[in-house]
Structure 1
Amino acid sequence: MGKKGCYHCGNEVTTFNRIDFDGKEFCCNGCKTVYEIFSENDLNCYYDMQQSPGATPEEANGKYDFLDKTEIISKLLEFDEGETSIVSLYIPHIHCSSCIWILENLNKLNQGVYRVLVNFPEKKATITFNKQKTTLKEIVLLLNKIGYEPYISLKNYDDKPQNVDRSLIYKIGIAFFAFGNVMMLSFPEYFNIDDVWMRQYKDFFRWLILIISLPVFFYSASPYHIAAWKGIKSKNYTIDIPMALGIIVMFIRSTVDIVFDLGPGFFDSMTMLVFFMLLGKLFQQRTYNFLSFERDYKSYFPIAITKLGSDNVEEPIQIYDVEKGDRLLIRNQELLPVDSILISESAFIDYSFVTGEAVPVEKKSGDKLFAGGKQVGDVIEVEVVNSVSQSYLTQLWSNDVFQKKVDMKYKTITDTISHYFTPVLLTISILGFVGWSIVDLNSAFNVFTAILIVACPCALALTAPFTLGNAIRILGRKKFYLKNVTVVEQMAKVNTVVFDKTGTITTNATSTIQYVGSDLTREEQSDIRNIIRGSNHPLSRKLYSFLKTKVIAKPEWFEEIPGLGLNGTINSKNYLIGSPKLVGIHDDKVINETAVHIQVDGKYKGKFIFANHYREGVIDLFESLDKSGYKLVILSGDNDGEAVVLRELLPESTVLAFNQKPEEKLEYVKSLQEEGGNVMMVGDGLNDAGALAQSNVGVSISENVNVFTPASDAILDAHMFSYLDNFLKYSINSVKIIKLSYILALTYNVIGITVCLFNKMSPLVAAIIMPASTISIISFVTIMTNYFARKNLNEDHINR
């Protein structure tokens, strides 16, 4: 009877279940149907990525009828505004690049789907769809039909995080029970106790040990068997293969020994090995969850939002201090940090951060506004209905709209080592077995199993994630908040640092402002203050604080023109507030100054001249960066009024570029990259979004109030600005730690394998050394990252 694999899922095809279609063999009608669907929609290249990548689809049979109920759907949806809805589904079958590819092309199978983002490690697909063209139920049924059935449970959407896999706890418990009892029952064998009582009950004890070990092999060790089998099927030689092989070999050999009365076997070593490996997995899982929580929490960026207190007093507060019932002031281009109700008469909300659709949605008083929307136009007031959701903002921060092409070299190194490590390890273990089998078969087996156990590449796989994970946590404590761990490595490669001027190397907190021109009436001052109230530009914030009028009124018209200024109408008067170009002045005399010009109803009134105050430590920072070999650039949208001052303050090598529009900043950064520069862009986040996105590392400076800048890779507390060179040094040392820990991990394996090849290490000792090496690597990277934190980050000063 011939046996072949199903073209779609790879399951066994026999003469009893074979279905021939299009010159291919399938195990069932479900797999054949999926193949037909992919063929009809030009998705056949799904099968080119991997042989038999699919799963056999199951019949729904009314299983998802509960998705017809609105109250249930509302709990599952993460976003629901207008025609657009977003849902995240856990899909257990996601296991390879083919899965990612077919899911991200789901829009070809359902025209109502806009986009699908796949989180491979979490096996989660975030689906954005048009609820007028399709429904959540239709999408779930389609996923089920093509073999990617989602697991839906409302428990997954509770506020309590599911940090620990309960089944892992059960597996560890069973392994520990078996390990303890097998060791106890093996004591007579250990001490070679030979008396009448032992001879009488020896076989009973051995068979009891075998029975106790069965749940460990078939249940506790099952994750390694499954992962290894999937790796072999996909020809992806993962670290689970040598682990599973060692367990299987020990189990078979031990069973043979007991059945044929050849010896006590290695069940003590097997149960101990499984227990330690599962314990290491639990430790790794808990540590990853801790690092993930730290990263999510630190993604809260030190950006404040304006809270309206009693008597409409404006108070900047951190966004994670926002509580239900608070009234917030949302300015032009500011992001809504929480779900809220609109109090103002109307608003235009841009949900492109969430949906990718840039057309603003008009809202009226009383409408619900979702977190992630960006206010476009005049300042609005909202009332908070939910506290800030960590998970939601983190998902927003990770949205592909803001993802940049980053170098994943450290992951590539890890994956490459793991990929080659497994076949090399198997080759060495087989050669060791063959060589020792000539001398002694029992010794050959000991050598074979000891090599497979002691050379586990867990330490190699954990090196980069733990190093960079601890580094990002430490930097977050120093108020330098990174988007993800890849930014650490990107920072280590930076050779060019580009700074914006206004609001970046200058501070918004202190400046001297002088008005020159015809007198402004109190009413005109009040009008100007009410118009600039809706702007987040650093000069607008300074001028808003400078003007002391307290009358609050809403402009009839408001427009912020990037790079130029503001156009607003209030009390039937039109105001132009901004650059000389905005008000039509081309006199060369106005160039050498930083000023905001005022025009009222077409008549030029005058200007507010700003004497900038540079951030504390900016001179020392530039000198330190210059000595370290970084190319330094000042890239500003302002005129060159302070060029003379900057040339006196900063190193001679600093390049100064003024009068740069937002798009010109982006092109400037691109030109530096084309010249071989690995660019870090440091900006205030308003007119720098394009340059921040284009740069290799984009850093947004945050003071009291700022615009959320998802294009950036990091957000730096303004008070920590002078320590930017320390952060760069720390990132370089973090990468050095990765390289050192790689060497340490490989050294462990070389020594361990060498000792095994000389038959000087028993599987029992190897089972103890394997988790010990993993713990030592984690300890090493933790100690070293903390050591360099004390050395590079000058804790005593930074923590003040």
Structure 2
Amino acid sequence: MDRINCYHCGDDCGNAAISFDSKNFCCNGCKTVYEIFSSNDLSYYYDLQSAAGTTPKVVESKYDFLDTSTIVQRLTEFNDGNLQIVNLYIPSIHCSSCIWVLENLNKLNPAITSSQVDFPKKTVRITYASDTISLKALVVLLARIGYEPNISLADYDNKEKKTDRSLIYKLGVAGFAFGNVMFLSFPEYFDLATSKSDGGEFWLNQYQNVFRWLMFIFSLPVVFYAGRDYFISAVKGLRSKFLNIDVPIALGISVLFLRSTIEIIFDWGPGFFDSLTGLVFFLLLGKFFQQKTYSFLSFERDYKSYFPIAVTRVLSGGKEESIQVHNLKKGDRLLIRNEELIPVDGILIRGNARIDYSFVTGESEPVHKQSGDKIFAGGKQLNDAIEIETLKSVSQSYLTQLWSNAIFQDDKSTKFQSLTDSIGKRFTISVLSIAFAAAAYWLFYDSSKALNVFTAVLIIACPCAIALASPFTLGNMLRIFGRKKFYLKNTQTIEQLAQVDTAIFDKTGTITTAQKSTASYEGMPLTSDEESLLKNTLRASNHPLSRTLYNMLAEQDIITLDEYEEHLGKGVEGSIDGEHIKIGSADFTGYHQDSAALNTSVHINSNNTYKGKYVFHNEYRDGISEVFKNMSETLQLAILSGDNEGEKPRLEQLLPKLTPLFFNQKPENKLEFIKELQNQGKKVMMVGDGLNDAGALAQSDVGIAISENVNVFSPACDGILDATKFKWLYQYILASKKAIKIVKLSFMLSLLYNVVGLYFAVTGQLQPVIAAILMPLSSISIVIFTTVMTNILGRKLK
């Protein structure tokens, strides 16, 4: 009787096949999943990979505990009553079609806003409208389509990370088999099988075949268990019409196994089971080493290399101090200004909270909160300054997650091709071409060597060393930059930074420092009420000039404004008890500035009456002349400032001659300026303060935000530079270029190794066992080379 396979999951339907829509299913669960997909125009799911579904399990009252609000509160990472975000562990995630299904959940239920899969961790982060679909209903939906979550409250309480130990198990199996096969191969190594003395005939006649078949048995779990990931990856790559680096590895394993099996079946020789098991063992050992190294780098990035952002803590007596976010404790009272990121869950104590949770959820509609309401980490205050009491210490890894949130991923990555991507496909095609050409040559001249040559080429040219060069080099540089207070989003940013040929700088808050600026008042005296309103309105603003002026003014009682609004690139305004004040540019406050008044100024308008202005005398950052002088040797420079031309003469003295200076630039002007440069083929780096420059930072190839211990955080930037390290910015750019040179040198070393190895392999002088040993050694040498070189490079950085 012919086997009937389930159309959805591929399992054997047995004698109880369910027929529906001219297709067979093994159970009602699979049939239900198919119906869901078909009714939602998702049936092309099966075009990705036939029978790629998983068998749904019957779910009745299993998840009734999810109706309990306290449990839901503990399980969700965000929950404001209308919107919830949950991160679920789904063990059955196993292939690309799984990712496709789980990231299209919104098509199955419109209440689901978005879903993001973390394939290595087998988790899915789902944002959904909790007033439309409950957590229980969401989990049941996942179970119905075959992706039942593994929910353990103990794991959530203890914050324990689920670790995948499969690699360790596979490494153990491969190592055990490799050791035994090597032991069984000793008679072959020492040519005991052909010896005629001291019992050699006894070994030849009675135990030779037994040992060979034992080696065959030991190789089975190595090929079909320990090495199966290479076959799965290769097949998926080929199905996607993409030659990944696992294709030649899988081909090499297959050829070794088939050739060795044929040799012992026909008694042609002992085969190469030692090479086979050794190859897989060393491959897995390299992967294990790589995994451990990545884990170490990730740990340093998430928990030790904190973003250079701080938050204002309110002390007893109303005094305020700046504190690093990782020093926050439960019960601290924090001041959150306009545009500031809320770094930790808390309770609103004072102020009008208008929270933008788009960092977390992608929803741009602000949420209003009242005193006593809970506020979640990751939100951004869009109104008057508020005070909150922290509920727990900050999780820096959570801020890292926000920075890398897929919601904020623009098309930069799609426009950029990494070194490894550009080389990988060509390398694979070249290796396969050489292998087949060499095999064809030896089939014609000496067929006995053809298979040996083909096998040796595939093993010796393993692309592992090339695959390791870039991630280890750039990953280590990411860690080194973090130690130097230069925090980059990912390794791709280093590659992009190395290609930069144009650098654009904002002025206020970027090349100037708010900590040393001075200001003098010119105009009509302010009343005590106006001074109080001015101080409290400035208290809510994060603009560098606002912060500078706020620190200069006399202390005032803290009051909660009735209204507050910040106009990007113009100024701020606030009101209380019918009193209204506008603070900002001359045009914004209704002052017609004469041409002689070119100093940087903040103008005051109280109750529609112009009162006067604070004239600032900017202090530029230490070493600015040297930084721009060095940069001008290799980069094109320009200054884009929203201020007037008052500082132009001084800037012309500080900066290299003929440096373009553009003033009165609005945020949209900066963005268009950068876009025009990019249209000319320029690779642009934008350096700004992260506030008015958000659009320009996002548009640029690399956006760097300068931080002066201010809790302003924008996912639009690709890097954050501590203001104290500004004078070393060019050194960091040069270090990025040198890091790429290290990657290229690693590629050349790997290529040199491959050329030498291929010469001996193609000429038939290299045995597969030697190739299997040399191949992992090349990978280890590349890792050592990149680590040593990047550490030497790191020591030279200030």
Please give the TM-score of this superposition, normalised by the length of structure 1.
0.90
The CA RMSD over aligned residues, in Å, is 3.3
The number of residues matched between the two structures is 790
Equivalent residue, structure 2, for 1:682: 687
Structure 1 residue 738, shift from structure 2 partner: 2.9
Counterpart residue type for residue 186 of structure 1: S
Alignment of 1:267-346 (within 5 A): 267-297=273-303, 300-344=306-350, 346=352
Structure 1 residue 481, shift from structure 2 partner: 0.7
Alignment of 1:763-782 (within 5 A): 763-782=768-787
Pair 1:365-2:371 in alignment = yes
Structure 1 residue 611, shift from structure 2 partner: 0.6
- Aligned to 2:185, the other structure's residue is in SS state helix
Q: Is the 8 A contact 1:239 1:422 kept in 2?
A: yes
Give CA-to-partner distance per residue, 1:18-50, whole Å, 9 cap, x none.
Answer: 95746x7878776665454334333355456x4
Structure 1 residue 475, shift from structure 2 partner: 1.6
Equivalent residue, structure 2, for 1:446: 452
Pair 1:107-2:106 in alignment = yes
Q: Is the 8 A contact 2:684 2:701 kept in 1?
A: yes
Structure 1: segments with no counterpart, 5+ residues? none
Equivalent residue, structure 2, for 1:246: 252
2:17 and 2:755 mapped to 1: Cα distance? 49
Give CA-to-partner distance per residue, 1:648-692, whole Å, 9 cap, x none.
Answer: 322233222222233333233333333433322111122211222
Equivalent residue, structure 2, for 1:138: 137
Q: Is the 8 A contact 2:351 2:560 kept in 1?
A: no
Structure 1 residue 303, shift from structure 2 partner: 0.9
Pair 1:54-2:52 in alignment = yes
Counterpart residue type for residue 707 of structure 2: S
Deviates more, 1:154-163 or 1:551-560: 154-163
Counterpart residue type for residue 735 of structure 2: Y
Q: 1:403 aligns with which of 391, 398, 409?
A: 409
Give CA-to-partner distance per residue, 1:59-103, whole Å, 9 cap, x none.
Answer: 333465554444443333221113111123345666666555544
Counterpart residue type for residue 334 of structure 2: L
1:390 and 1:60 mapped to 2: Cα distance? 39
Report the CA distance shift for 1:680/1:722 in structure 2 as closer, same or farther (over 3 A).
Answer: same
Q: 1:468 aligns with which of 470, 474, 483?
A: 474
Q: Is the 8 A contact 1:112 1:133 kept in 2?
A: yes
Report the CA distance shift for 1:537/1:645 in structure 2 as closer, same or farther (over 3 A).
Answer: same
Pair 1:500-2:499 in alignment = no
Counterpart residue type for residue 313 of structure 1: K
Equivalent residue, structure 2, for 1:581: 587
Structure 1 residue 339, shift from structure 2 partner: 0.9
Identity of aligned residues (%): 56
Give CA-to-partner distance per residue, 1:311-343, whole Å, 9 cap, x none.
Answer: 332111111121222221111111110111222
1:203 and 1:383 mapped to 2: Cα distance? 76
Equivalent residue, structure 2, for 1:665: 670
Q: Is the 8 A contact 1:685 1:706 kept in 2?
A: no
Counterpart residue type for residue 400 of structure 2: T
- Aligned to 1:588, the other structure's residue is in SS state coil
Report the CA distance shift for 1:691/1:53 in structure 2 as closer, same or farther (over 3 A).
Answer: farther
2:676 and 2:430 mapped to 1: Cα distance? 44
Structure 1 residue 137, shift from structure 2 partner: 3.5
- Aligned to 2:276, the other structure's residue is in SS state helix
Counterpart residue type for residue 485 of structure 2: K
Pair 1:544-2:542 in alignment = no
Q: Is the 8 A contact 2:252 2:455 kept in 1?
A: yes
Counterpart residue type for residue 360 of structure 2: V
Structure 1 residue 175, shift from structure 2 partner: 2.3
Pair 1:651-2:687 in alignment = no
2:450 and 2:302 mapped to 1: Cα distance? 49
Q: Is the 8 A contact 1:564 1:582 kept in 2?
A: yes
Counterpart residue type for residue 482 of structure 1: L
Equivalent residue, structure 1, for 2:489: 483
1:772 and 1:682 mapped to 2: Cα distance? 43
Equivalent residue, structure 2, for 1:40: 39
Deviates more, 1:451-460 or 1:180-189: 180-189
1:158 and 1:455 mapped to 2: Cα distance? 48
Equivalent residue, structure 1, for 2:718: 713
Alignment of 1:525-674 (within 5 A): 525-549=531-555, 551-570=557-576, 573-589=579-595, 591-630=597-636, 632-674=637-679
1:108 and 1:296 mapped to 2: Cα distance? 34
Structure 1 residue 14, shift from structure 2 partner: 11
Give CA-to-partner distance per residue, 1:410-441, whole Å, 9 cap, x none.
Answer: 75653454445445534543444454456666
- Aligned to 1:89, the other structure's residue is in SS state strand
1:409 and 1:760 mapped to 2: Cα distance? 44
Q: Is the 8 A contact 1:669 1:679 kept in 2?
A: yes
Structure 2: segments with no counterpart, 5+ residues? none
- Aligned to 1:137, the other structure's residue is in SS state helix
Q: 1:751 aligns with which of 750, 756, 761?
A: 756
2:90 and 2:758 mapped to 1: Cα distance? 39
Structure 1 residue 525, shift from structure 2 partner: 3.3
Structure 1 residue 746, shift from structure 2 partner: 2.8
1:750 and 1:155 mapped to 2: Cα distance? 54
Pair 1:184-2:201 in alignment = no
Pair 1:128-2:127 in alignment = yes
Counterpart residue type for residue 366 of structure 1: G
Q: Is the 8 A contact 1:345 1:365 kept in 2?
A: yes
Give CA-to-partner distance per residue, 1:151-205, whole Å, 9 cap, x none.
Answer: 5555664665648632222222232233223323332332234432645554554
- Aligned to 2:758, the other structure's residue is in SS state helix
Structure 1 residue 127, shift from structure 2 partner: 1.8
Q: Is the 8 A contact 1:21 1:32 kept in 2?
A: no
Equivalent residue, structure 2, for 1:513: 519
- Aligned to 1:567, the other structure's residue is in SS state strand
Q: Is the 8 A contact 1:19 1:29 kept in 2?
A: no
- Aligned to 1:628, the other structure's residue is in SS state coil
Report the CA distance shift for 1:242/1:69 in structure 2 as closer, same or farther (over 3 A).
Answer: farther
Give CA-to-partner distance per residue, 1:733-769, whole Å, 9 cap, x none.
Answer: 3333333333332333233222112221112111111
Q: Is the 8 A contact 1:591 1:639 kept in 2?
A: no
Deviates more, 1:374-383 or 1:777-786: 777-786
Give CA-to-partner distance per residue, 1:446-496, whole Å, 9 cap, x none.
Answer: 323222222211122223222222222222222111111121122223222
Report the CA distance shift for 1:577/1:418 in structure 2 as closer, same or farther (over 3 A).
Answer: closer
Structure 1 residue 701, shift from structure 2 partner: 0.7
Q: Is the 8 A contact 2:347 2:388 kept in 1?
A: yes
Deviates more, 1:288-297 or 1:529-538: 288-297
